[in-house]
């Protein structure tokens, strides 16, 4: 949503070109809502969603921990004031020298999903805590994470056993139910798998301590989504159901849910045209597209709310596209986007819910277009 602070900023500063404006007050509210919804879970903000230093500093000061995927992200979290014991190296795909560097910086918590990665960690990060990621079906997620990360629960048992053999601390299990997950029962299925790994290893005397329940918490785009509180209740009941009174330590790693609704992109209509006189679908070209930060429109997965000064008037379906000379730079075509008939060239539009996964996805200078500028207020 465009908050009054964001609207005031745009009205007074009038930044030229497309830009993202993030309202820190909304990030603060989101952090508190997560704390309240899951009071026993530690929050590890997924840095990749939006690594703006102002956001990281705010969250570090509020006591957040951080989920990072590279040495650069580890350093960003540290520069923002997070001590090493509040940072997890959560990428399952790491160079051995990056593991060594993170270990040197004090990082002691690492994700794995195979024996090969465990062996790297054992070589350069002796005694570190590792958690093994298990696959999830990703059902119910608008941005599913496929089979790239994680292994089947039976293999997670072997991976954690090997970690123990190599002198590492076999610490727990992690999963990610898929991003923009609107099915509250997704965590239940994943927690059932996590519990099986706990139980099997317990029989061998390996006592796991932690379940990392990942991200997936949604942002409201065009449709309402359940509030953080509803997620908290569903997740807590699932934890009780599978772990009874022996509740493990838990972590959540919200990215989108922490910053998505805190940001708005201001964009400008560059061109409105048709492909034939009798076409009833207009093409609307913005000064931002897939390469300027809206990569999550890939396969039309994420549909952002678009606000114009003409809202309320009659609308017609439009193909929405970006400004670059790449034919893939089309956001919505299979399902055209309804926009006001009175929208004209030069109008500004606001693209809401764009605080997550935009600046980091923007190309450096494709066709000479600058990377997406961002203001954090
Ligand atoms: C990207 C990522 C997250 C954040 O996911 P959201 O769906 O944005 O909340 C959390 N954990 C890991 C390991 C990730 O890679």
d(CA 128, CA 215): 23
Say which residue the tokens 């898929």 belong to. 178
Q: Can you tell me which atom of ligand 1 is nearest the CA of 111?
A: 13
Does this model's pTM top 0.85? yes
For atom 5 of ligand 1, the residue with the nearest CA is 215
| Closest-lying ligand 1 atom to the alpha carbon of residue 257 | 9
Helix, strand, coil percentages, rounded to 5, for the chain: 35, 25, 40
CA of 63 to the centre of ligand 1 (A): 19
Taking the centre of ligand 1 as the mean of its atom positions, its distance from the CA of residue 368, in whole angstroms, is: 31
Return the CATH fold of 261-376.
Lyase, Ornithine Decarboxylase; Chain A, domain 1 (2.40.37)
CA proximity to 377, closest of 62, 3, 24: 24
| pLDDT for residue 176 | 96
Instruction: Using the mean position of ligand 1's atoms as its centre, give its distance from the Cα of residue 146 in Å.
Output: 13
DSSP element (H, E) containing 72: helix 71-79
pLDDT along the chain (377 residues), means of 10: 96 96 98 98 98 98 98 98 98 98 98 98 98 91 83 97 98 96 94 98 98 96 93 97 97 98 98 94 97 96 97 96 97 98 98 98 95 97
Q: 144 in ligand 1 pocket by Cβ < 6 Å?
A: no
The predicted pLDDT at position 142 comes to: 83
Regarding the beta carbon of 216 and ligand 1, being less than 6 Å apart is answered yes
Residue 303 Cβ < 6 Å to ligand 1 = no
Q: Are 209 and 173 in contact (CB under 8 A)?
A: no
Domain residue spans of the chain: 90-254, 261-376
CB atoms within 10 A of CB 277: 5
- Tell me the two tokens of residue 123: 């070589």
Residue 28: the pLDDT is 98
pLDDT in tens, 127-147: 999 999 999 988 888 887 778
The confidence score (pLDDT) of residue 91 equals 97
Residue with tokens 């379906």: 317
Neighbours of 158 (CB within 10 A): 14
Task: Give 124's Cβ-side CA count (13 Å radius).
Answer: 18
Rounded-to-integer distance, Cα 35 and Cα 29, Å? 10
Over the stretch 224-255, which tens digit does the pLDDT of each residue have? 999 999 999 999 999 999 999 999 999 999 99
Question: Does the Cβ of 256 fall within 6 Å of ligand 1?
Answer: yes
Quick check: 231 and 215 in contact, CB under 8 A?
no
Tokens 């992690």, residue?
174
Say if ligand 1 is within 6 A of residue 251 CB.
Answer: no
What does the pLDDT read at residue 143?
Answer: 80
Range 90-254: architecture per CATH = Alpha-Beta Barrel (3.20)
What is the number of the ligand 1 atom nearest to the C-alpha of 256?
8
pLDDT at 66: 98
pLDDT in tens, 281-319: 999 999 999 999 999 999 999 999 999 999 999 999 999
Kindly give, in sequence order, each residue whose CB lies less than 8 Å from that of residue 182, ignoring residues fewer than 6 positions away: 140, 141, 142, 218, 225, 226
Q: Which of 142, 215, 251 to mutate to test the pocket of ligand 1 (most atoms within 8 A of CB)?
A: 215
Ligand 1 test: best mutation among 34, 41, 46, most atoms within 8 Å of CB? 46
Is 325 labeled as catalytic in the residue annotation? yes
Partners of 375 in the β-ladder: 21
- If residue 349 lies in a helix (H) or strand (E), which one and from where to where? strand 348-352
pLDDT at 1: 80
pLDDT at position 144 is 75
The residue whose CB lies within 8 Å of the most ligand 1 atoms, and thus the one to mutate among 112, 149, 179, 261, is 179
């Amino acid at each position: 949503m465009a908050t009054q602070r964001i609207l005031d900023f745009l009205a007074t500063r009038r930044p030229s070109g497309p830009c993202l404006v993030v309202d820190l007050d909304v990030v603060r509210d989101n952090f508190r809502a997560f704390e309240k919804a899951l009071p026993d879970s530690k929050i590890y903000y997924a840095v990749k969603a939006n690594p703006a230093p102002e956001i990281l500093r705010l969250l570090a000061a509020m006591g957040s921990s951080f989920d990072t995927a590279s040495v650069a992200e580890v350093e960003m979290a540290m520069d923002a004031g997070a001590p090493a014991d509040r940072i997890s190296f959560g990428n399952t795909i790491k160079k051995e020298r990056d593991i060594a560097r993170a270990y040197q910086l004090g990082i002691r918590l690492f994700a794995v999903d195979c024996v090969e990665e465990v062996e790297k960690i054992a070589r350069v990060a002796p005694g570190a805590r590792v958690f093994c990621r298990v696959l999830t079906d990703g059902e119910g997620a608008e941005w599913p994470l496929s089979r790239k990360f994680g292994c089947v629960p039976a293999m997670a048992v072997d991976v954690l056993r090997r970690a123990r053999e190599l002198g590492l601390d076999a610490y727990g299990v992690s999963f990610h139910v898929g991003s923009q997950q609107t099915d509250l029962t997704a965590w239940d299925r994943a927690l059932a798998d996590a519990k099986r790994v706990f139980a099997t290893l317990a029989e061998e005397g390996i006592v796991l301590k932690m379940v990392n329940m990942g991200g997936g918490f949604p942002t409201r785009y065009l449709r309402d989504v359940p509030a953080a509180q509803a997620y908290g209740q569903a997740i807590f009941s699932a934890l009780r159901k599978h772990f009874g009174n022996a509740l493990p330590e838990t972590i959540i790693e919200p990215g989108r849910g922490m910053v998505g609704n805190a940001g708005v992109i201001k964009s400008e209509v560059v061109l409105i045209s048709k492909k034939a006189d009798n076409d009833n679908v207009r093409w609307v070209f913005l000064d931002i597209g897939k390469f300027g930060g809206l990569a999550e429109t890939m396969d039309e997965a994420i549909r952002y709310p678009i606000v114009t000064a003409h809202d309320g008037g009659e609308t017609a379906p439009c193909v929405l596209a970006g400004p670059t000379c790449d034919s893939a730079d089309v956001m919505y075509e299979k399902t055209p986007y309804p926009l006001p008939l009175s929208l004209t060239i030069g109008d500004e539009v606001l693209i809401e819910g764009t605080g997550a996964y935009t600046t980091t996805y923007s190309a450096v200078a494709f066709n000479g277009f600058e990377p997406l500028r961002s203001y954090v207020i």
